[in-house]
Amino acid sequence: MITTKWSEQLVNPTVVLVVDDEVKLCRNIAYKLKKEGFSTLEAYQGKTAVDIVKKTKVDVVILDFMLTDTTGLDVLHQIKQISPETVVYMLTAHGNIENAVAAMKLGAEDFFNKPIELKVLTEAVKRLSLNPVHPGKEELIWQSKKMKQVLQWLEPITQTDASVMLLGESGVGKTALAKWIHSHSERAEGPFISINCAAIPENLLESELFGVQKGAFTGATESRAGKFEAANGGTIFLDEIGEISLPMQAKLLHVIEEKKLMRLGSHTEKAVDIRILSATNKPVRQLVQDGKFRNDLYYRLNVVEIEIPPLRERKEDIPFLLNQQLQRLNQKYKKALSFSTEAVQALCEYAWPGNIRELLNVTERTHILKRSGSIEPEDLTFDETIKKEMVKKDSTFSNINLQETLDNVEVQLIEKALQESGGNQTKAADLLGISRNTLIYKMKKLRKA
């Protein structure tokens, strides 16, 4: 029998402040982020935004370049003085490349051109909580022999302008490694611009990469810069490069070879000085053989090719990743939790098909549901890990019913989730990483047991 315990104090989600003097757009962005589980605040003036950051812990700020009372750069500067750890994304409708570069130097994580698809912006905010490396001088904590070999191999390459292609499964840390390469290069003072090629619709990718000239198409009321111009003097990271079409590959190849680009709708080329890093989780050599990826582009992008091993092949890294994530979460949620030796062992034994991204997700979900003390194996909100641990512990006791034991674990986890969500089944299902229908089914099933 499951009993719902009501909680008066809910765990605070990531706090996102949206700053834009276009009130309707500001509200739309905040509404979309709130639907995705973030706590949102709105400000329509720069002064209001700064006051909010002074009084409230804000994790992420989405900041417009042009405000009615001041500039976005001025607000960015003040925010970084008040709260250096707050991540700031800039929005611009003006394509001013000087401002974009200035924003990156002041500490902005990235910038987006208006109009922007809310899905793209939401995904960017989501990725922040999954990235184990913070902006700035990137120091990786990988301790395994395999990853130390990767870093040792890359160290002399960082001081060159050689293009590097990073291969590996989704979630292995390709973005983190790209930031490390940039921050240890001679371009470290320049901007680091990252773009997920798979997240941008094909019809918008060209303007996002190369910019657009006023009048290029209906709705292009002003010229704006693209990601390549923003990365001038620094590094651009093209993630999921295997997803781009053959026509776009041809345009990308031209920019790489000529070191010049042409905005969509323009007839004038602009020179760019950038280093290109790229990544894919697809078998790119097979794509070349199948005619889906240009052979000449492949050899331009992979002057150096590095394959990052999956987490299951470097489990020595797991305790260090767990410790780093736990410190971040303790600070974020104002707790003082720790991992028991048994819990760490259970997490190290799991295969992690989603790699680091999955590990960080499981850790945060477990952290949210645990109020205090030490995180034990039974606290882990991950069915496969729990079952594996329970089988290991109970296999020598013939008088213990395994299914009954697992059911009891499910009861405890469901009760915790309902408690932390104030009885809200949808929120509880999100915390457990299952659908609401699955949660209802499990509750009915366990009541009958």
C-alpha angle 334-338-341 in degrees, rounded to nearest 5: 170
C-alpha angle 241-244-247 in degrees, rounded to nearest 5: 130
Q: Cα(157)–Cα(218) distance, rounded to whole angstroms?
A: 44
CB atoms within 10 A of CB 230: 27
**290-325 burial string, b = 16+ CB within 10 Å, else e?**
eeebbeebbebbbebebebbbbeebeebbbebbebb
Contact indicator for 368, 11 with CB cutoff of 8 Å? yes
Q: Cα(314)–Cα(141) distance, rounded to whole angstroms?
A: 13
Options 3.40.50.410, 3.10.105.10, 1.10.8.60, 3.40.1360.10; CATH for 312-448 is: 1.10.8.60
Instruction: Map tokens 């079409």 to a residue.
Output: 245
Q: Cα(110)–Cα(130) distance, rounded to whole angstroms?
A: 16
Which tokens is 130 given? 């999954």
Q: Can 15-128 and 145-309 be said to share one CATH topology?
A: yes
What per-residue confidence (pLDDT) applies to 400?
A: 42
C-alpha angle 138-325-41 in degrees, rounded to nearest 5: 90
With a CB cutoff of 8 Å and minimum separation 6, the contacts of 49 are 17, 19, 43, 61, 63, 75, 79
What per-residue confidence (pLDDT) applies to 9?
A: 27
Q: Cα(375)–Cα(129) distance, rounded to whole angstroms?
A: 20
Per DSSP, the three-state class of 261 is: strand
Which tokens is 171 given? 């979630």
392 alpha carbon, distance to own chain's centre: 34
What per-residue confidence (pLDDT) applies to 421?
A: 79
Tens of pLDDT along the chain (449 residues) come to 222 222 222 334 678 999 999 999 999 999 988 887 788 999 999 999 999 999 988 989 999 988 999 999 999 999 988 888 888 998 887 656 667 777 877 888 887 877 777 888 887 787 665 444 444 444 576 778 899 889 888 989 998 999 999 999 999 999 999 999 999 999 998 999 999 998 888 888 998 899 888 877 777 778 888 899 999 999 999 999 999 999 999 999 999 999 999 998 888 999 999 999 999 999 999 999 999 999 999 999 999 999 999 999 998 889 888 888 888 888 888 888 888 888 888 898 888 999 998 999 899 889 988 888 889 988 887 654 444 444 444 444 444 444 555 566 677 778 777 877 778 888 887 777 677 777 777 777 666 55
Q: List C-alpha distances in Å: 449 to 5, 167, 290, 437.
A: 20, 48, 54, 19
> pTM above the 0.75 mark?
no
**CA count, 13 A, side-chain hemisphere, 349:** 17
Stretch (H or E) spanning 405: helix 402-420
Per DSSP, the three-state class of 311 is: helix
Contact indicator for 150, 317 with CB cutoff of 8 Å? no
Q: DSSP letter for 216, please.
A: S
Residue boundaries of the structural domains of the chain: 15-128, 145-309, 312-448
The CATH architecture assigned to 15-128 reads 3-Layer(aba) Sandwich (3.40)
Phi, psi (deg, nearest 5) at residue 224 = -150, 150
Long-range residue pairs from 197-204, CB within 8 A, at least 24 positions apart, any chain = 197/238, 197/239, 197/240, 197/241, 197/243, 197/244, 198/239, 198/240, 198/243, 199/119, 199/120, 199/123, 199/240, 200/120, 201/117, 202/245, 202/248, 204/117
112 alpha carbon, distance to own chain's centre: 15
Residues facing residue 92 across a β-bridge: 113
* Residue 287: Cβ-neighbour burial (10 angstroms; 0-12, 13-18, 19+): middle
Contact indicator for 181, 277 with CB cutoff of 8 Å? yes
Contact indicator for 199, 125 with CB cutoff of 8 Å? no
What per-residue confidence (pLDDT) applies to 213?
A: 86
- Strand 275-280's sheet: what is its strand order? 192-196, 235-239, 275-280, 164-167, 304-307
Options 3.40.640.10, 3.40.50.300, 3.40.50.720, 3.30.70.20; CATH for 145-309 is: 3.40.50.300
Q: At residue 217, what is the residue type? A: F
